[in-house]
Amino acid sequence: MKSKSLLFLLALMATVALAQNQGKGQGPMSRYDPSTEATITGTIEEIQTLDTMCHSGTHLTVKTDKGNTEVALGPTKFLADQKFELKKGDQVQIVGAKANTRRGEMFMARQITSGGKTVTLRDDKGMPSWPRGMCR
């Protein structure tokens, strides 16, 4: 009887552990799909700095000819280190891909150009250009 109870408990624990991991991404690569990559061009309507688990991230609302698009750039510190400043009203061209995130669907930027300067945020597979573990 004890061995059956132990087996049942182990099976239950394994089921719970597997269920908790379903649907969870493993970072940017699981969300960035290079096959859906596109380029958008527009005007910055809003700039937001959002706190995540490890860093402050910069998000934009870009007005395009098809409406507003929410764009995730990456760590605010990484953009500052690149001496890349953005402001409301700036014209931008962004290469990226749609991604499902905790905040819903948004455009994940791989490369952004504004004011004649281009910054690469991710490689062509979606892997971030900033150092792993970059925190505040």
pLDDT digits (tens, 9 = 90+) for 2-28: 555 444 444 434 443 433 333 333 344
pLDDT tens-digit map of 28-56? 444 788 999 999 999 999 999 988 656 68
Domains of the chain: 27-120 (2.40.50.140)
Q: What's the pTM?
A: 0.74
Higher confidence at residue 43 or residue 102? Answer: 43
Question: What is the model's pLDDT at position 32?
Answer: 84
Alpha-carbon span 106 to 59, nearest angstrom? 10
